[in-house]
Amino acid sequence: MSLLLIDAGNTRIKWAIAQADSFNLNDKWVKSGHINYADLNESALSHITKDLSSIKKIIYSSVVSKEKIEHLKFLSKATFPSASWHELQGGSALSWLKTKYITPEKLGSDRRAMLIGAANLFPHRNILVVCAGTATTIDLLSSNKEHLGGLILPGITLMSQSLHTGTAKLPHVFSDQTPLHPLSLGCDTQSAIYNGILASQLGAIEIGKLMAHQQNLPLDMVLVDGGNAELLINAYQGTEQILFSSNLVLKGLLAWHHQDYI
Distance, CA of 108 to CA of 117 (rounded, Å) = 14
**Phi and psi of 137, rounded to 5°?**
-115, 145
Contact 261, 21 (CB under 8 A): no
Query: Given a cut of 60, is residue 191 above it in pLDDT?
Result: yes
- For the chain, the average pLDDT equals 90
The confidence score (pLDDT) of residue 180 equals: 75
N-terminal to C-terminal alpha carbon distance within the chain: 13
The pTM (predicted TM-score) of the whole model is 0.92
Set out the domains of the chain in order of their start, with CATH numbers.
2-87 (3.30.420.40), 98-251 (3.30.420.40)
Distance, CA of 252 to CA of 259 (rounded, Å) = 10
The confidence score (pLDDT) of residue 175 equals: 66
- The DSSP output letter for 131 is E
DSSP states along 15-70: EEEEETT---TTSPPSEEEEEEGGG-SHHHHHHHTTTSPPEEEEEEEE-S-HHHHH
- What are the pLDDT digits (tens) for 21-46? 766 777 788 889 999 888 888 888 87
- H-helix or E-strand containing 104? none
- What are the pLDDT digits (tens) for 210-224? 999 999 999 999 999
Distance, CA of 135 to CA of 155 (rounded, Å) = 4
- The DSSP output letter for 51 is T
The confidence score (pLDDT) of residue 78 equals: 82
**Phi and psi of 191, rounded to 5°?**
-75, -30
Q: How far is CA 186 from CA 181, 195, 237, 238, in A?
A: 11, 6, 17, 20
- What are the pLDDT digits (tens) for 137-177? 999 999 999 999 999 999 999 999 999 889 888 888 876 66
Query: Given a cut of 90, is residue 125 above it in pLDDT?
Result: yes
Q: Please work out, in degrees rounded to the nearest 5, the angle formed at the alpha carbon of residue 137 by the alpha carbons of 133 and 139.
A: 140
Q: Can 110 be counted among the known catalytic residues?
A: yes
The confidence score (pLDDT) of residue 106 equals: 93
Nearest alpha-carbon partner for 242 in 196, 209, 211: 209
> From the candidates 110, 139, 188, 225, which is the catalytic residue?
110
Q: What average pLDDT does this structure show over 6-22?
A: 88
